[in-house]
Amino acid sequence: MIDDFVGNLIGINNRVKWFIFFLLLSSTAFCQQLIEGTIIDKETGKPVPFASIGVVGTSKGTSSNSNGEFSISVIQPFKLKITCVGYESKEVLSSEEINSILLKPISTQLDAIVILDKAPNPKKIVRKAFANTDQNYINQPFLQNFFYRHYCKDDSTYGRLIEASVDVWKHDGYRHLQGAAGEQEEIRVTQLRRSLDKTTMAQGHDPISVKNILQADVVGYQTKIPSEHLSFYNDVSNLKTDFENYTFTFDGITNYDGQEVYQISYAYKKDSVSTTSGGYLYLTQATGSLFITTDTYAIIKTDEIKKLDSNTIRTTAYYRKYNNQYYPYHFIREGKSYLTDYSTHSFRIDLMSVELKTDVTEKFTGNEPDREKLSAIPYDSVYWNNNTTLKTTPLENKIIHDLGDGVSLNKQFYLYRQYELNLNDGGKNGEEKFIWYRANSQGKRILYLVFWSKQFNGYLTELELAKQLQKQYRNKVFFVFISLDDDQANWLLTLSRYGFYADGIINYRIGSNSSLTKLFNIKEAPAFILLSKNGEIFSQEAKRPSNPLLQDDFKVLLK
């Protein structure tokens, strides 16, 4: 009987082993994996930037970066299709070499050598392109998942990096033009990672700029009202709205995915205003290119440069075909501004399509999240190691060095989340959060502490002057408003009513019985204390914001 029991047990174990083995085989055959490769020009050997890499039979895809490199999450077996303006399309099986994929270039037939029955009218071609939007682009509700990357630099030094997974739900697809992102669509951020913001404009930066880069889509967004002058700072194109203010030139014919494509350049009218001295001040100028299919008049690429004095913004959009209709697969917007001290601030935003779904039952509502909502998104390193992103460039090592003094980006992402959580909702565990912030600031920040309470009307002017000084010394001296009030609701009401949540002001509520009042020897409000960068008390009774000599103390510490 015991022998039978043992025999049955062995039989069961063997069946379990075979079952597990089968599961392992199945998971190996169909598991999701991240693959990498490079797109290279077959004739020149140079990388092909911003090519579309799509998984055949699906809407999943990615884009090559400026060095032709790409990464994409796939399920074995797979087939990739690579398309790019000016190149023959190519399909690659999972069994083939993907480390280096060679694309054969197709020479552009310039205007001077194009032989056609009738000379193309570039103005009419562009008009037809805008008129055919609802036929050429997805005109039904769809959900698109994007990878978002945004970084900024002061001169040549990187100051911040943000990456996110973004969902956009378009209620009517491309059936109607929008004047701004968010009018007929929903936006949500599901994954987020970011570094600390060390740029000179940190306290004026939007926490994320999804709407800005969505509006790089010339096909989907156009200004609604004609304007007398072109705005340098408007994120939305006015190409269709102010059509008569542009000139168009036919440059030739190229190729995209086996289709002939018109290449048309355009320029905004030379615009200026007279000055009081009798001269002229030249306003924003814009030049660009449109790539439009010759058969259906679909816009498959746009490229525009806007200039105002020495400031520039360049916007590029790429589109790929899925089920005989087009949708965007990569938006790029980069700009450079010259500041009054002759330094420069530059930025770049990429929004790359990862997947598109037209048959989803899930619908959501949402808008571009604010700082508080972004802070609630936990950093998930597992997600970022296993999902499609825009391949990083060789600049990654410099980004790590500039942003975190050699600290890995993974660690920076965790630090930023902790930093944000301690700065937001400073009324909850305010004492604990301030202690953390002071410790975190050691070796990094000069702190000017302002202790105040609800009886602040007698020194409201001092608080307002502190806000002005903060703007003057932003990113050099950090102003921390510490409330001694015990009532959380009244404290929040006061912050809102008097603008104490001003740009860059850090707020904590510690209450009247906090140990910090003993630590800093606070007898009554207001009290002002100045801490040096090493965290020590520079002045126990610091000068008030109304005292001009306070700035002398700032200068001493800044040296």
DSSP codes of every residue in 538-555: EETTPPPTT-THHHHHHH
375 and 336 co-located in one domain: yes
- In whole angstroms, give the CA distance from residue 334 to residue 315: 7
pLDDT per residue over 98-136, tens digit each?
Answer: 889 999 999 777 655 555 556 789 999 999 999 999 999
Q: Is residue 20 part of a domain?
A: no
* Structural domain that includes position 389: 122-415
Q: Higher model confidence: residue 479 or residue 30? A: 479
Tokens of 162: 């943000």
48 and 190 co-located in one domain: no
Mean pLDDT score of the chain: 87
CATH number of the domain at 79, please.
2.60.40.1120
What pLDDT, on the 0 to 100 scale, is given for residue 483?
Answer: 94
pLDDT at 405 exceeding the cut of 90: no
| Segment 397-417 mean pLDDT | 75
CATH number of the domain at 552, please.
3.40.30.10
- In whole angstroms, give the CA distance from residue 481 to residue 509: 8
What pLDDT, on the 0 to 100 scale, is given for residue 110?
Answer: 63
Q: Is residue 14 part of a domain?
A: no
Q: How far is CA 228 from CA 177, 222, 241, 305, 542, in A?
A: 21, 15, 11, 19, 52
The answer to whether 391 and 64 are in contact (CB under 8 A) is yes
Which regions of 385-443 does DSSP assign to beta strands (E)? none
What pLDDT, on the 0 to 100 scale, is given for residue 418?
Answer: 76
Share of the chain above pLDDT 90, in %: 60
Helix, strand counts (H, E) of the chain? 13, 25
453 and 370 co-located in one domain: no
pLDDT per residue over 273-324, tens digit each?
Answer: 766 676 777 889 999 999 999 999 999 999 999 999 999 999 999 999 999 9
| Segment 22-28 mean pLDDT | 43
What is the number of domains present in the chain?
3
Strand partners, 391: none
pLDDT band, residue 396 (cuts 50/70/90): low
pLDDT per residue over 331-359, tens digit each?
Answer: 999 999 998 878 899 999 999 999 999 88
| Segment 61-66 mean pLDDT | 94
Q: Is residue 130 part of a domain?
A: yes
DSSP states of 32-94 as a string?
A: EEEEEEEEEETTT--B-TT-EEEETTSS-EEE--TTSEEEEEEESS-EEEEE-TTB--EEEET
93 and 167 co-located in one domain: no
What pLDDT, on the 0 to 100 scale, is given for residue 522?
Answer: 93
274 and 185 co-located in one domain: yes
pLDDT at 457 exceeding the cut of 70: yes
| Segment 161-176 mean pLDDT | 93
- Lowest-confidence range among 182-191, 234-243, 398-407? 398-407
